[in-house]
Structure 1
């Protein structure tokens, strides 16, 4: 009723008629809807929408009659001509309708496009488009469509005409560059983009830099990699002054392209940035990182070789190049790279130690030992001495290791790792009193070293002197307050001694001092709580700290225990994503997958772990750092840790 009153009030209001007809259609009264629209076209003969609605609601035969009538009143309506064409079922009739349309609306790009689409013979389509571009010389789409249908030679002629007709069109320039790429004229691609920038700038029609990057990405998506590169080369600096932070802007641009999966565009951005800032190691490293993850081994090595020439003082680039050569099995080439690196930075400990590792891993023990001896003279850092001691321990020569550690401590009495090594050497020889002495002296020299305190306490515990071990940990917690590792060791000491009440008391104190420590919560959940309390305690812990990988693994293990395997997988995955550097998380996940996962999933997890190269984790470090395991691969360490976990 309301719609009827709208129509009666204003019979020339098309939308009112359409709304009323749709209401009837919705109610299933299709004839009533058609009748309404038959009236509507009499009152609103100039309304495209009313005619189109009437055509839609009628059968094909009647719709054609309505279309004919509609076009008598609106012979310049593109929409009506296109719909009239669609009503025809025979191809010749469709073409006839569009020819009539072009007589009435020769300037309509849409109708020309429809006419071209109906042509099955490319030659006929070309003739139509040639006529269309004569009549509508300012339509970029029509020129590009014509160029696509022409032979490469004719396409060049078409695009030249198009450029003269529309000097402000960047699309025509890009099409010209892509045409050159298509015919193999690689040199011309860059030349055309160079001319494009000059011409568009002259016409004040240059796109913004960000928009050009989008155009480059589109070219990459369609396989036009040379055009993509040329666009970046000639437009990336557009609109940026030298005092802008161009290096940061371009690195952000490259990262954004990588996020969108457009690696060729990112590669081109890095290449341009490197040309402007050839001595920027940050850009070289970012570019190398991209090649490592999304390029080929060859592209990475090629880039790194250029990088070390451009920035010979950056040891990370030298190390990466040596490592790639080494991983490819080309040991001599890796040696050559490290040799060149020595010439550039004779005192750099990283390069010395990389050379030592290379020789040691290839069984050249004498060569490695000689390199370490020279490194102690040339680089002379505590790290070189620590590596020297570790090397002799790995060779099983404890006397040489002890001699080196004593020499090192004379030079670096504050080097906690040297004190640890000294105690460990004595311990491995079964000389507990000397080991205790070394660790205790170390804690006095380096009171902030938590690992030293832990070793000192464990050695006393091993000697059966629990009271002394407890006292050492008490002193340690005073020297290094609020440290979860020291607290958890105090709790474990009591547990191992059978003092569960004392362990619980220590845990309560520990959580007061370190309320967000995943390590402490995990210890409490597994060893000081009833089985039924594990889940609520885990939830309580995660509320206090929702970004601790140890807690995530604890949650996964709780769900594993409840046989809620999907939940367990989710929490294990969260843990390794949050911090892939913790080896214990990977090992727990592998242990779980050995029981409940497929072979493929186990293999995938092992491969991901190897790529992540974890270095931390309580059990992981105890196995990875043991001298006898020095030659084990990450995969072998992972499997060992997974077996040892309880």
Structure 2
């Protein structure tokens, strides 16, 4: 057996445990394998995290928390993950005081870890303590000037929670863009703040594409916000500039759908998933498309693809997965719910904002 031949290679334990859990459904044996791995490899964080995840999934919440504590006590130099992964679970349990204590503890060892500041701010937002949330994000932007999400969260707190301070939100984003001129998410946030489709937004979008000419999200927005008669001509330009990025392929698919070009739209949805099977947004919008225009067998086939590929990224899909109330939910349930949610958009609407911390 590979483990016996290479007992200090942690990946073998992880692969073997996953096989026992996912394929055989033998969670007890999977835990034993991970525990055996930790006996010989106690400094390997991924083994601790895998054991904690398995304990959480099998309802052993207290044991899971204790595993994180033991990990931090055992590993000589634990990474920030050893704190912020537990913070996420404490938030699921609504243990907000414990979560904040963990953040403070983690920041003592990792004062430049943006996810810890993000989680601090998000905990305060859960408690509706907006000023404290603002302070947390502000501290984060000072310690982690390149963290886009900290700047975005700070701007949103100003605009949405602290008396609609749009001017302050705008100046926050302008400061962030001056420090991070090649970050397209900041341009996208400015578009949201100014109102997509406005003259100011078009100026910002043009500036963004000039600064970041290969940005897929900005090209997708260019397609979405252009006049209908102009969009078709933008397809090849956007695809060429982004090396056929799946975000742009999806934007083309949705625009073709808007124009009633259903067979062509379907081709682009298929191409999007083929290009990047881990791009969750494609499954969400394709699911909605097939519910309206496909056969039940096509929906079932897409859902099987989704389960097999287990996508984890996308401007819309990643926040769905990371949303605290969704942590324990089945991914197929989340896909169907997300497809229902986007069905309230026009087919050419904009994507959900991506701002989750972990």
**TM-score, scaled relative to structure 2:** 0.91
Match of 2:167 among 449, 467, 472: 467
Q: Deviations over 1:290-315 (max 9, x none)?
A: xxxxxxxxxxxxxxxx1111222222
1:437 corresponds to = 135
Q: Deviations over 1:159-216 (max 9, x none)?
A: xxxxxxxxxxxxxxxxxxxxxxxxxxxxxxxxxxxxxxxxxxxxxxxxxxxxxxxxxx
Shift of 1:587: 0.8
Whole-angstrom distance in 2 between the partners of 1:489 and 1:577:
29
**Match runs of 1:193-342 below 5 Å:** 306-327=1-22, 328-342=24-38
Whole-angstrom distance in 2 between the partners of 1:421 and 1:335:
29
State the structure with more CA Rg. Answer: 1
Query: Do the aligned residues in 2 keep the contact of 1:507 with 1:524 (CA within 8 Å)?
Result: yes
Mark the runs of 5 or more structure 2 residues left unpaired by the alignment: 346-358
**Match runs of 1:570-581 below 5 Å:** 570-581=267-278
Whole-angstrom distance in 2 between the partners of 1:452 and 1:581:
25
Whole-angstrom distance in 1 between the partners of 2:8 and 2:338:
39
Query: Do the aligned residues in 2 keep the contact of 1:620 with 1:637 (CA within 8 Å)?
Result: no
Whole-angstrom distance in 2 between the partners of 1:532 and 1:407:
56
2:116 corresponds to = 418
Query: Do the aligned residues in 2 keep the contact of 1:315 with 1:351 (CA within 8 Å)?
Result: yes
Asked if 1:408 corresponds to 2:106, the answer is yes
Query: Do the aligned residues in 2 keep the contact of 1:356 with 1:371 (CA within 8 Å)?
Result: yes
Match of 1:377 among 57, 64, 73: 73
Secondary structure at the aligned position of 2:338 is classed as helix
**Match runs of 1:456-535 below 5 Å:** 456-463=154-161, 464-495=164-195, 500-526=198-224, 528-535=225-232
Whole-angstrom distance in 2 between the partners of 1:450 and 1:581:
22
Q: Deviations over 1:8-45 (max 9, x none)?
A: xxxxxxxxxxxxxxxxxxxxxxxxxxxxxxxxxxxxxx
Whole-angstrom distance in 1 between the partners of 2:272 and 2:192:
24
Secondary structure at the aligned position of 2:195 is classed as helix
Match of 2:126 among 409, 420, 428: 428
Q: Deviations over 1:468-506 (max 9, x none)?
A: 11111111112222111111111111117xx81111111
Shift of 1:382: 0.7
Whole-angstrom distance in 2 between the partners of 1:471 and 1:579:
36
RMSD: 1.5
Query: Do the aligned residues in 2 keep the contact of 1:583 with 1:620 (CA within 8 Å)?
Result: yes
Shift of 1:452: 1.6
Secondary structure at the aligned position of 1:602 is classed as helix
Shift of 1:539: 3.4
Whole-angstrom distance in 2 between the partners of 1:467 and 1:314:
54
Q: Deviations over 1:74-111 (max 9, x none)?
A: xxxxxxxxxxxxxxxxxxxxxxxxxxxxxxxxxxxxxx
1:79 corresponds to = none
**Match runs of 1:554-565 below 5 Å:** 554-565=251-262
Query: Do the aligned residues in 2 keep the contact of 1:308 with 1:317 (CA within 8 Å)?
Result: yes
Shift of 1:322: 0.7
**Match runs of 1:388-399 below 5 Å:** 388-399=86-97
Shift of 1:543: 3.4
Whole-angstrom distance in 1 between the partners of 2:165 and 2:103:
27
1:358 corresponds to = 54
Mark the runs of 5 or more structure 1 residues left unpaired by the alignment: 1-305
Tell me whether 429-438 or 564-573 shows the greater mean CA deviation: 564-573
Secondary structure at the aligned position of 1:363 is classed as coil
Shift of 1:514: 1.3
Ranges of 4+ aligned residues in structure 1 off by more than 3 Å: none
Match of 1:585 among 282, 286, 303: 282
Structure having greater relative contact order (Cα 8 Å, sep ≥ 6): 2
Secondary structure at the aligned position of 2:217 is classed as helix
**Match runs of 1:32-181 below 5 Å:** none
Secondary structure at the aligned position of 1:430 is classed as coil
**CA shift in 2, pair 1:492/1:538, >3 Å:** farther
Q: Deviations over 1:324-359 (max 9, x none)?
A: 111222111011101111012101111111111111
Aligned residues, how many?
338
Shift of 1:588: 1.1
Query: Do the aligned residues in 2 keep the contact of 1:436 with 1:460 (CA within 8 Å)?
Result: yes
Match of 1:567 among 261, 264, 267: 264
Whole-angstrom distance in 1 between the partners of 2:198 and 2:289:
29
1:343 corresponds to = 39
Match of 1:446 among 144, 158, 163: 144
Query: Do the aligned residues in 2 keep the contact of 1:584 with 1:641 (CA within 8 Å)?
Result: no
Secondary structure at the aligned position of 1:618 is classed as coil
**Structure number having the greater helix percentage:** 1
